[in-house]
Structure 1
């Protein structure tokens, strides 16, 4: 199990790097072959590492990527001297140099901005970026975007076809396109983190490797002065603040621990400080984003020494601000939960009754869980249990299912 987790972590950490480097060598027209090559490398590690993990796993992946480059050259009938002849900027870059840290980061930046190219349909951009940068499967993308897997497959196919037909270049955007493209890039990173922080994976509630990957990508963005703005710093703040709580979200058996029952001494202070400082920097820029508001909500939770001490009134105001910027079912549900915590169940119900669980796709169980919380607040135990049963039927994650079953069983004993 430990080796599998290590491989999964490295795959997430290396996938975007390897795809980006190979695309820089072979071009976007060979994207499908490149993705197959990366998958082959991952499959090879899965088999070879069963008995023994290499002393330097990341170096193993880099070497494997280089070897796959040679294989691809043969498959594409490329000239043996092709690499020496290729130009990537004003001068030729030696093949080995492409695996240096700065060149890898440059390739990754090019990849994520290419995936968010305006010639791609807006609906296709995020799915395409999650696939190429995060190595997400179609089902994972579907869960992150609240879509059906079939819809995601169509979007990925359409995006790849557009890349070829529109002859999209593998490059960073010019200054006049930067703001719009950066907005989409930050959204992709945000979604990668969310899938790690509250995963739809059938076994794991928290996937730290995805959270770490999102933090790493945001740090790469912030290395470039032209990408620094209020939104990019606010996103980094949000990711740090939420990452600080990861160690308290599950127990040693990977069971879910809700915010009310988390051991707050396990919240990681260095990340909290890093996030707080990043939010201060974000507030020094003229632009304002939803990430500013979400980071402010996270700080309110962190400031509370106990769950009872939470400033729910302030959090409600922040969620209402968030709703003005970005109205969706998840935010509406969050507002309903806060209203229940403020002992305002009727106001919460007015929100709940307007929502459709189908809008949440694979996360529809959240709607039924909130409805159960509403009826429990009213003291209507049977109603609460019935909605918990519906939530249990719809939840795909084992840890979440176990958590909901415990809640239901506790009510049955009352």
Structure 2
């Protein structure tokens, strides 16, 4: 399982890099061939690494990417002289330079902002970005965006068609378009992290490779003066805060541990300090974002010495502030959870009455889990078990299912 996680980690870490570099060489018009090539490289690694994982996996991927470039040239009917020039002439220097750290980062930034190009439908941008930058599968995109897989397929196809038809360029945005596209770029990174922090994967509740990739991409954005703003620093703070808790979210068997029962001594202080510094830096800019609020919410949890000492009133205030900017089912559900902690069951119930679990798509089980918690808080164990059964029936993730079954068994012994 550890080897598989390592392979997943390097696939996530390298996918966006390889796609970005190859698109910079061959152009967006060849994106489908490029994606196939990257998938082929990953498939090759999956087979070869079963026997032995290379000492330097990143170097292996880089070499495989370079070799695949030559294969692509042939596939795209490039002439022999062009291939030879890339291998032996001065062009080889420019070609190899594209694999240097700074050039890779430049290619990745171009890919991020190209995916958020205004010529693409706003609904298509995020799905396309998750695919090209994060290497997300259709199912993973559907989970992250709370959509049906069929809808995601249509959006991806439409994005590629638009790129070809409108001849979208692979470049960084002009100053005039920067803020608009930066907002979308940050949202993509946020979604990549969320799928890592609370994954809908069948086997893993936490996928550290995605969390690490989101942190890395945010750092790339912050490395450029023109991309620094309150939102980008606040997002980095939020990711640092949540990453600090990763070591306490699951046990050695990858089973879920809820916030109440986490060993807070396992929370990683250096990341908390880094997040605090980023949040202070975010205040130096004039813009404000939902990331500021979400980071403040997580900061409240981090301040509490234990679950009982959590300042739920402050967290409720922050969630209500978040709801003014981002009124959706997930935020409302979070408010209901906080109200249950504050023993305001009637208010929580009124919120739950207004919510449609279908709006959460693959994560509808979260609604039923909260409703079970509501009935448990009232001492209505039979009703709580009923809703836990519905949650168990609707959950896809094995760790989440095991967690819910454990909660149900605990209620059965009461």
Q: Taking structure 2 as the reference length, what is the TM-score of the superposition?
A: 0.97
Offset at 1:328?
0.4
Gaps (5+ residues) in structure 1? none
1:183 and 1:164, CA in 2 relative to 1: closer, same or farther beyond 3 A?
same
Per-residue CA deviations over 1:72-130 (Å, capped at 9, x if unaligned) read 001111134547999xxxx9971000000000000000001000000000000000000
Contact persistence 1:127–1:152 (CA under 8 A)? yes
Q: Deviations over 1:334-382 (max 9, x none)?
A: 0000000000000001101000000000000000001111111111110
Counterpart of 1:358 in structure 2 is 358
Are the equivalent residues in 2 in contact too, given 1:196–1:208 (CA < 8 A)? yes
Look up the match of 1:17: 17
For residues 151-190 of structure 1, the aligned pairs below 5 Å read 151-190=151-190
Distance (whole Å) between structure 2 residues aligned to residue 404 and residue 392 of structure 1: 6
Q: Which residue of the partner structure matches residue 409 of structure 2?
A: 409
The answer as to whether partners of 2:73 and 2:83 remain within 8 angstroms in 1 is no
1:5 counterpart residue number: 5
| Structure 1 CA distance for aligned equivalents of residues 109 and 80 of structure 2 | 28
Which SS does the other structure have where 1:253 is aligned? coil
User: What does residue 222 of structure 2 align with?
Assistant: 222
1:254 Cα shift? 0.3
Alignment partners' CA distance in 2, 1:289 and 1:319: 13
**Structure 2 residue ranges without an equivalent (≥5):** none
- Alignment partner of 2:250: what SS? coil
Larger CA deviation: 297-306 vs 51-60: 51-60
Which residue pairs with 1:255 in the alignment? 255
Shift of 1:2: 2.1
Q: Show the counterpart of 2:314.
A: 314
Cα distance between partner residues in 2 of 1:59 and 1:298: 37
Instruction: Please name the residue that 1:202 is paired with.
Output: 202
- 2:47 aligned with 1:50: no
- TM-score (norm. length: structure 1): 0.97
Aligned to 2:94: 94
Counterpart CA distance in 1 for 2:357 and 2:93 is: 52
Structure-2 change in CA distance of 1:226 and 1:360 (3 Å): same
Show CA shifts across 1:221-245 (max 9, x none): 0000000000000000000000000
Alpha-carbon contact 1:83-1:95 (below 8 Å) kept: no
Contact 1:248 1:257 in 2 (8 A): yes
TM-superposed deviation, 1:54: 1.2
Q: Judge conservation of contact 1:238–1:275 (CA < 8 Å) in 2.
A: yes
Partner of 1:353, secondary structure, is: helix
**Secondary structure of 1:175's match?**
coil
CA RMSD in angstroms, aligned pairs only = 1.3
Q: When the two structures are aligned, how many residues end up with a matched partner?
A: 410
